[in-house]
Structure 1
């Protein structure tokens, strides 16, 4: 099962990337996570789009289309979706062949504060709903005080966090299978 991971933080050592890696480690077989590299996606510009999708955007759209499911792990910036992640989603949403249509998605968020990104998930769910994605509702994962749950090597040191993420990835596998059966009818 081909799962694509999107990290809402582009920083190489971000805690959200650590949580994304942990989600990959917690996936049951036959799920396999690969992480999207989207650093080359330019700022959205309708004038550029009028000439066609930039190569980097076309590649991202095709990679999403091929995936059985997408895991998005993101920080919360100013109570909402990080600007660059929203920019990526804006590019992906364009065109009649929008690759997020009916795509199963799991959302996780991690922040240094105690709430763990609850507000970003609310806003991100609204955006993804507009694109007709199939977002997993429960269990929700908000990793608060994330800086206390990973060591210097990016390994999770908090067993409860690992258990929560394992439960979500198990539910996500079942969610993808349900969506695949529904789409086959």
Structure 2
């Protein structure tokens, strides 16, 4: 049976390189049932939560995380950190009880226009994931620099070096899944 993997892109852009990267990672993972999360959710507001509970779109995300055997997260780097969109989603999901994250294998990566490929955002993302007690796949960081020119028309990585890095990260994710 195919592994269930949820992809979370920290970008809402239609042609996001981070969305391309999670899709490419799933392809390079191999046989899997891949689903992309929708982070187009309202800003976290404790009053909204108190009055209405978790919004339906957040409940859907919580269920997707819980149902996945592993999660691949890719984030752009905005001003040295993760996007507000991604942080907002993590804040909302943190309100779910029980946590869908506990013990979940997670692969972290980034794609950005800059020459560092968003690795500072990865550091922040790892910090944000710590309270959830996830199992971050240990592999070399995957940070796609000058990302706008690193994908072909089908959304595949053009650089063998980046492709090899993503493959190594997906192998590390497989190890986390199988324990």
**Coordinate RMSD, CA, aligned:** 1.3
SS of equivalent residue, structure 1 residue 26 = helix
Number of equivalences: 176
How far does residue 32 in structure 1 lie from its aligned partner after superposition?
2.9
Are 2:117 and 1:102 aligned?
A: no
In the alignment, is the contact (CA less than 8 A) between 2:39 and 2:86 conserved in 1? no
Q: C-alpha separation between the residues in 1 aligned to 2:96 and 2:170? A: 30
- Name 2:28's counterpart in structure 1: 26
Cα deviation, 1:146-179, whole Å, max 9, x if unaligned, reads 123113443322122111111111111111111x
Query: How many Å apart are 1:55 and its aligned residue?
Result: 1.0
The DSSP-based 3-state class of the residue aligned with 1:21 is helix
TM-score scaled by structure 1? Answer: 0.90
Within 5 A, what are the aligned runs for 1:169-184? Answer: 169-178=170-179
1:3 counterpart residue number? 5
Counterpart-to-counterpart distance in 2, 1:62 and 1:161: 31
Residue of structure 2 equivalent to 1:44: 44
User: Aligned partners of 1:65 and 1:154: how far apart in 2?
Assistant: 28
Task: Answer whether contact 1:113 1:144 (CA < 8 A) is retained.
Answer: yes
1:56 equivalent in alignment to 2:57: yes
1:28-177 alignment, distance < 5 Å: 28-29=30-31, 31-39=32-40, 41-50=41-50, 51-177=52-178
**After TM superposition, which residue ranges in structure 1, 4 or more long, deviate above 6 angstroms?**
none
